[in-house]
A = this chain, B = another copy of it.
Amino acid sequence: MSDIRDVAKLAGVSPSTVSRVLNGKIPVNPDTKEKVLAAIKELNYQPNAMAQVLKGGRINTIGLFLPNVRNLVFPAVIQGIEDTAKKHGYIVVVCNTDEDVEKEKFYIENLRRRLVDGFIFCTARAGTKHLLELQDEGFPHIYLIRKSEQLADAVILDNYAGACLATEYLVGQGHRRIALINGPRDVLLFQDRFAGYKDALAKAGIALDENLIIHDIHSWDDGYQAMVKLLALPEKPDAVFATSDPKAIGAIQAIVDAGLAVPQDISVMGFDDSDPARMTVPLLTTVAQPFYEMGAKACERLIKNIEGKRNMKPKIDVFPAELVIRKSVK
C-alpha cells in the first residue's frame, strides 16, 4: 500500500499539500489539487487511519455492549444504531458480554485505548460500579434499553406504563387471576414492569396473589417451566403476563403441551414485540418497544456527545410503550 509520500512524489508536491487536499479545510490551488487527486486515484491511496488518529483525530467508531447477542430484541437495536452511525461516518463494534462483568471490563479496557470514541451500553444491572468510572472521566457513553441506578445519559422505554397498559388490557378483557412471569430483578426495567403490574391490579381492586408471581425467568425455556408450575396450581390462572416475548412463547408451549388452548383457556400477553412475537401461533399480543428508533436515538445522542455538540447535563429519553393487540389474549 502506498503512503502519503508516494502520492506527494507522484504529484510533484509535498506531503503537507496532499494532506491538505485530503482534509479539505485549508485552501489549495485548484491545479495542484487536480494533480494530487489524480495521483491518489492512480495509486489507489487510502490514508492510514492509525496515523490520523494518532495525530489527534477521532477514530469514528462506537462500541456497543450487549448482554447477550442471542436475545432477539437486539437485531433491531443493532440495525437502528448501525444505520445512524453510518449516516455520521461511524462504524459500530459489537461486544457481547454474556452478562459477565469481567468480560465487559476486558472489552472496555481494550477499546478505551483510542479504539473507540464512545460506548452504548445495553448491559446495565444493579450494583455494577465500573461503568461509573467512565462518567467520572468524561468518556462519552449512553445507556440503552436498560438504565443504571445513577443518573446518566440513557434512552429507555416507559416500562412502568407499558406494564400498566398490558395489565389493564387483561383486566379489561375480564381476566381476574392474572399471573406474572417476570425477568431478573437486578435489571431495573423488570422492577418497573413489576411495579406497573402491581399498581394496575391494585387500581382494578384485584388483590395480589403471590402464588401467581414468578420472578427471575430469563427466556423461553425457563418460561416454559414457570408456566408448568402455574398450571399445577389448585386454581389455574386465566391469563398470564410475561415480561418478554420469549417467556410468553415458552408459556404458550407449556399451555398447549398441557392440552389447553391459547387464548381459549388461558390468555397470554408478552412484552417487547420482538420479531418472534409475529412468528408464533397464535400471533402474540404484546407491548411494543420501538427498538430500532431507540437504537437510532441513542446513537445520535452519543455522537453529538462525542463531537462535543451538546450540553453536558445527563438526560434520560423515555419512549412511550404501545399495546399491540393480536391473537393470544381473548
The residues of A with any CB-CB pair to B shorter than 8 Å are: 46-51, 53-54, 59, 61, 69-72, 74-76, 78-79, 82, 86, 91-96, 103, 106-107, 109-115, 220, 246, 249-250, 252-253, 256, 275-276, 278-281, 283
Q: How many Å lie between the Cα of A59 and that of B71 in the bound state?
A: 29
Q: Is the CB of A69 within 8 A of B54?
A: no
Complex-state Cα separation, A236 to B61, whole angstroms? 53
Given A46-B109, A75-B70, A93-B92, verify A280-B278 contact (CB < 8 Å).
no
Q: Give min CB distance, A255 to chain B, whole Å.
A: 9
Between A and B, 6 residue pairs with Cβ closer than 8 Å are A50-B59, A51-B54, A69-B78, A70-B75, A78-B94, A91-B107
**What separation, in Å, do the CA atoms of A51 and B54 have in the docked complex?**
6
Complex CA gap A150/B78 in Å reads 31
**What is the CA–CA distance of A278 and B59 in the complex, to the nearest angstrom?**
41
| Among candidates B86, B107, B275, residue contacting A70 with C-beta atoms closer than 8 Å | B275
Give the copy number. Answer: 2
Main secondary structure of the interface of A (DSSP, over half): helix
Question: A113 and B249: CB pair below 8 A?
Answer: no
Contact B275 A252 (CB under 8 A): no
Q: Which of B70, B111, B249 contacts A279 (CB 8 A)?
A: B249
A69-B78, A86-B103, A253-B281 given as contacts; is B113 within 8 A of A47 (CB)? yes
Q: Whole-angstrom distance from the CB of A43 to the nearest CB of chain B?
A: 14
| Nearest-neighbor residue (CB-CB) of A53 within chain B | B50
CB-CB under 8 A from A103, the residues of chain B are 86
Which of chain B's residues has its CB closest to A46's CB? B113
Is A113 a contact of B49 with CB atoms below 8 Å? yes
Q: Which residues of B contact A278 (CB under 8 A)?
A: 220
Which residues on B sit within 8 Å (CB–CB) of A253?
279, 281, 283
The verdict on A281 contacting B279 (CB below 8 Å), with A48-B54, A92-B94 known, is no
- Measured CB to CB, the nearest residue on chain B to A94 is B94
Residues of chain B lying within 8 A (CB to CB) of residue A82: 69, 95-96
Bound state CA distance, A95 and B94, in angstroms?
A: 9
- The complex places the Cα of A252 from the Cα of B109 at a distance, in Å, of 47
CB distance from A50 to the nearest CB of B (A): 5
**Are B93 and A91 in contact (CB-based, < 8 A)?**
yes
Report which residue of A50, A71, A79, A252 has the largest number of chain B beta carbons within 10 angstroms of its beta carbon.
A50
* Chain B residues, CB < 8 A from A220: 278-279
Q: List chain B residues, Cβ under 8 A from A107.
A: 91
